[in-house]
Structures are given as structure tokens and as C-alpha cells.
Amino acid sequence: MQWYHYFSGFWAGMFLANFVPHFVKGICGDAFPTPFAKPPGKGLSSPMINALWALLNLAVGYLLFQFSKVSTADNLSVIIFFVGIVCMSIMLAKNFVNKDKA
């Protein structure tokens, strides 16, 4: 595999991890921060915006995953994919910890 396959696998993990909270909040009908809120990433966006943002993240993550050729035959590709998930998970947890506090 080429270096850009690993790079794409990392970003696939990032986008797919970002899909989860926005999708869950969107389909539950809860407002949640998105890059489109005011201020970006701090204000709350509507459930519809969250659902659409989630689906865009899913589509981009899926395309990157396909391009990256993540395979159990290549353990490094799987590890890098999961590192992307871990990085985004930590970033989201740190960013959204105070979302309900005024």
C-alpha cells in the first residue's frame, strides 16, 4: 500500500467517528453544535442540520475508506483507521463537554 492509502484510512476514521454524534442527535430531534452554528462548533444547530451534516460525514468517510483499501490483511491500515477514530473521539469529547453550559 502507498502512504496515501494510510492517510486516507486515518481520515476515514475521523469522518466516520464524527458521523455518530451528529446522526444520533439529529434523529433524536436534539440540537447539537455543528460548523454551521453561530458561533461555529459552539452554538447549537437544528436536528435537520445535524442529520444532514452526519450524512455528509458518512458519505465522505465511506469514500475515503474505499479509497484507503483498509484491510485485515494489512494490520497497519486497520490500526491507522482506528487511530483516526480515537483522535476524533477525543477531540469531540473535549470540544462538546461544555456544550450545555451558558
- Report the pLDDT averaged over residues 9-27: 97
Q: Which residues, at least 6 apart from 61, have a Cβ–Cβ distance to it below 8 Å?
A: 12, 13, 14, 15, 16, 18, 19
- pLDDT at position 99 is 66
- pLDDT at position 101 is 58
List phi, psi (to 5°) of 45. Answer: -105, 160
Are the CB atoms for 78 and 43 separated by under 8 Å?
no
- On the question of pLDDT at 102 being above 60, the answer is no
- pTM, entire model: 0.88
Nearest residue to 66 via CA among 2, 3, 4, 8: 8
